[in-house]
């Protein structure tokens, strides 16, 4: 029998063989993974073993050639997609997310940042782990730009995900809203997902007593006008992290993001050739004793398109 051999890496240490195979052979049903392990078509260090066997870094995973599930390299588009790296080490890769690129694929044929990061990790990383795959550690909407973190190790994924869940990592956004927000304010609402969404449309959120609590602190930075519409450039701090939180709370309190027609904006910027709306994840503040080597503060610059639109509204780019 002809086998292909793969060396397990540090992020495979101490994991069950069946769980590694589920990650490495995603199209193979779990029942067939178990069957192939029992029959010896999947082996550890050349020997038949059990699904519960624990692995170690440096072990050899032997897989019969007839069942390997290696993927071909991704399309040229993935390699051509450009974005700024804000910070990168062996645990975390933080990028400045471009406008209009989804974090994860929502439909067939769509390019996603998740695919790009996975592809580049496969070709650039020295780690040979088979069960670990990098992935996004928090969410940004397709039209939102700015700081987005991807895991580069299991330890990085675990620490950062926990820090986001416990709000140890502080997030600050900058957005352009309709209306004049005159002073810093704190919004506390309960948010829930809207039902009966038309087929093909994305889900929206709304304020509801039955929803999950969301807290947003909005602080106006400067003011301007888009045509006859007064606008405010606002700093948003979000102690909670709910889906569409800034967008839905801004709208429900009378200050929708300019151009965000899904949340009651009276202006359609996309039809006028601009970004759909302007919301930018500008800053992450991180504990200085974190175990994965992150700096205490990470910031992301606005895109040239973002800066250009602010100049149209006669708003100067705020300094960090």
Closest CA to 141 of 101, 174, 169: 101
- pLDDT range class, residue 72, cuts 50, 70, 90: very low
Are residues 227 and 267 part of one domain? Answer: yes
Q: How many domains does the chain have?
A: 3
Distance CA 23, CA 274 (A): 40
**Comparison of pLDDT for 182 and 109, the residue scoring more:** 182
105: Cα separation from own chain's centroid: 11
Residue 214 domain-assigned?
yes
Are residues 145 and 61 part of one domain? Answer: no
- In the block, residue with structure tokens 């904006």: 265
Give me the CATH number covering residue 107: 3.30.2350.10
Residue 320 domain-assigned?
no
**What's the average model confidence in pLDDT over 97-124?**
86
Which of 73-87, 123-137, 153-167, 266-280 comes out lowest in average pLDDT? 73-87
Tokens of 10: 């540090």
Mean pLDDT score across all residues of the chain: 89
Q: How many CB atoms lie within 10 A of CB 163?
A: 21
The pLDDT tens digits of the residues spanning 144-158 come to 999 999 999 999 999
pLDDT above 60: residue 113: yes
pLDDT above 80: residue 306: yes
pLDDT at 28: 82
- pLDDT range class, residue 198, cuts 50, 70, 90: very low
The pLDDT tens digits of the residues spanning 239-264 come to 998 889 999 999 999 999 999 999 99
Which of 27-31, 51-55, 154-158, 292-296 comes out lowest in average pLDDT? 27-31
**Comparison of pLDDT for 25 and 160, the residue scoring more:** 160
Distance CA 164, CA 34 (A): 35
Are residues 277 and 177 part of one domain? Answer: yes
- In the block, residue with structure tokens 């059990």: 50
CA-based radius of gyration for the chain = 23
pLDDT above 90: residue 284: yes
**144 — phi, psi (to 5°)?**
-95, 140
End residue of a domain, out of 48, 67, 86: 67
Answer whether 254's CB lies under 8 Å from 179's CB. Answer: yes
pLDDT above 50: residue 74: no
Distance CA 111, CA 317 (A): 30
**What's the average model confidence in pLDDT over 258-275?**
92
Structural domain harbouring 40: 3-67
> Has this prediction a pTM greater than 0.75?
yes
Tokens of 120: 């580049």
**114 — phi, psi (to 5°)?**
-60, -45
Are residues 288 and 177 part of one domain? Answer: yes
Are residues 178 and 287 part of one domain? Answer: yes
Beta-carbon contacts of residue 208 (< 8 Å; ≥ 6 apart): 190, 191, 192
**Comparison of pLDDT for 256 and 82, the residue scoring more:** 256
Query: What does DSSP say about strands 145-151 and 3-7: parallel, antiparallel, or unpaired?
Result: unpaired
Burial class (CB in 10 A: 0-12, 13-18, 19+), 200: exposed
287-293 contact pairs (CB < 8 A, 24+): 287/163, 287/168, 287/169, 290/159, 290/163, 291/155, 291/159, 292/89, 292/91, 292/92, 292/153, 292/155, 292/156, 292/159, 292/160, 293/89, 293/91, 293/92
pLDDT above 90: residue 208: no
Can you tell me whether residue 211 is helix, strand or coil? coil
């Amino acid at each position: 029998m002809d086998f292909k051999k793969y060396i397990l890496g540090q992020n495979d240490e101490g994991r069950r063989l069946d769980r590694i195979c589920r990650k490495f052979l995603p199209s193979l049903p779990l029942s067939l993974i178990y069957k192939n392990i029992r029959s010896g078509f999947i082996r550890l260090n050349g020997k038949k073993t059990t699904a519960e066997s624990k692995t170690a870094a440096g072990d050899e995973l032997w897989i019969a050639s007839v069942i390997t599930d290696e993927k071909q390299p991704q399309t040229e588009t993935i390699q051509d997609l450009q974005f700024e790296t804000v910070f990168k080490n062996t645990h975390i890769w933080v990028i400045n997310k471009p406008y209009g690129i989804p974090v994860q694929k929502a439909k067939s044929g769509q390019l996603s940042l998740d695919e790009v990061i996975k592809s580049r990790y496969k070709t650039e990383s020295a780690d040979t782990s088979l069960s670990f795959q990098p992935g996004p550690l928090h969410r940004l909407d397709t039209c939102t730009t700015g700081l987005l973190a991807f895991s580069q190790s299991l330890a990085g994924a675990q620490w950062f995900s926990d820090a986001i869940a416990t709000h140890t990592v502080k997030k600050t956004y900058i957005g352009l809203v309709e209306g004049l927000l005159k002073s810093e304010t704190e919004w506390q609402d309960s948010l829930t997902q809207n039902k009966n969404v038309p087929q093909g449309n994305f889900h929206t959120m709304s304020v509801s007593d039955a929803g999950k609590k969301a807290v947003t602190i909005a602080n106006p930075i400067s003011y301007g006008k888009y045509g006859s519409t007064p606008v405010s450039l606002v700093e948003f701090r979000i102690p909670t992290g709910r889906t569409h939180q800034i967008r839905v709370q801004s709208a429900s309190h009378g200050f929708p993001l300019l151009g965000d027609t899904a949340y009651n904006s009276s202006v359609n910027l996309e039809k006028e050739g601009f970004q759909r709306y302007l919301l930018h994840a500008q800053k992450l503040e991180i504990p200085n004793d974190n175990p994965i080597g992150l700096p205490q503060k990470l910031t992301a610059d606005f895109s040239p398109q973002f800066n250009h639109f602010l100049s149209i509204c006669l708003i100067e780019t705020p300094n960090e």
